[in-house]
Amino acid sequence: MDLSIGMLYNAPIMWWKSLIFILFFQCAVFSSETVFCLHGFMRKPASMKKIATAFKSDGYAVENWGYPSRDKTIQEHAQALVKDLNKIAKKNPGEPIHFVTHSLGGIIVRCALNHPDCPEEAKIGKAVLLAPPNQGAEFGRFLGHVAPARKALGVKAGRQILYSENFDYVGQFPETKEVLVISGTFGWNPLAKGKNDGKVGVEESCLSTPHKHMTHFSGHSWIMYSDTVIYNAVRFVAK
């Protein structure tokens, strides 16, 4: 049966409301799964806003988690994260908690997943790590010999960044967690190891445990703003 525009305009108001309701719920996809976004050292949640918005648009509940990176150690930040993970796990028992992190944020997640109070929900699902210094950073260790840099980064997590040969002491990702590392290659820093993003070498970003890996022509400080990176992060978590 053909419906003319005029016939549609004359349809009852309730019919229109029902149609809009149906179309809305056909187009929208809602999930009880949560994505935690963690920014890098001396950054703010605003730096992860674009990628957080992309996950919200894809139907996920999103926690754009902020932390005073300079004021506490990696372990202390991880403990604070675990408290919030438990709140989400209690709210959505059995539902995986995903992570999208930048730089130090990935190390904090690793540490949190090895905390004795970490909920099982956080140990399943996916994690996307953008430019993480998983094997430490040669450039960071160089800065450890520069007094102004030591002062700027502080004596907590900043000192750990400057002097850690690797971050194995925080623990590894559990086998139940699927991990994608995205490394930046837009960097020509001769003080960084090999091909790098200006701060972290591609080789330094990789884990010593099984994970997926890709590179993108982005610098360390801006990789989270790349549309291509965001697309791949969302696609990986959604698989």
44-65 pLDDT, tens digit each? 999 999 999 999 999 999 999 9
Distance of alpha carbon 46 from alpha carbon 44, whole angstroms:
5
Closest CA to 95 of 168, 25, 34, 22: 34
Q: Using the predicted structure, report yes or no on whether residue 35 has a pLDDT greater than 50.
A: yes
Give the chain's domains with CATH numbers: 34-238 (3.40.50.1820)
Which pLDDT band, with edges at 50, 70 and 90, does 227 fall under?
very high
201-220 pLDDT, tens digit each? 999 999 999 999 999 999 99
Rounded to an integer, the average pLDDT of 90-118 is 99
Task: Provide the whole-model pTM.
Answer: 0.87
pLDDT confidence of residue 32: 84
Closest CA to 110 of 81, 89, 71, 68: 81
Q: Using the predicted structure, report yes or no on whether residue 229 has a pLDDT greater than 60.
A: yes
61-93 pLDDT, tens digit each? 999 999 999 999 999 999 999 999 999 999 999
Neighbours of 97 (CB within 10 A): 27
From the DSSP assignment, how many helices (H) and strands (E) are in the chain? Answer: 10, 6
pLDDT confidence of residue 18: 46
The upper half-sphere exposure of residue 82, i.e. CA atoms within 13 Å in the direction of its Cβ, equals: 19
pLDDT confidence of residue 1: 40
Which pLDDT band, with edges at 50, 70 and 90, does 31 fall under?
confident
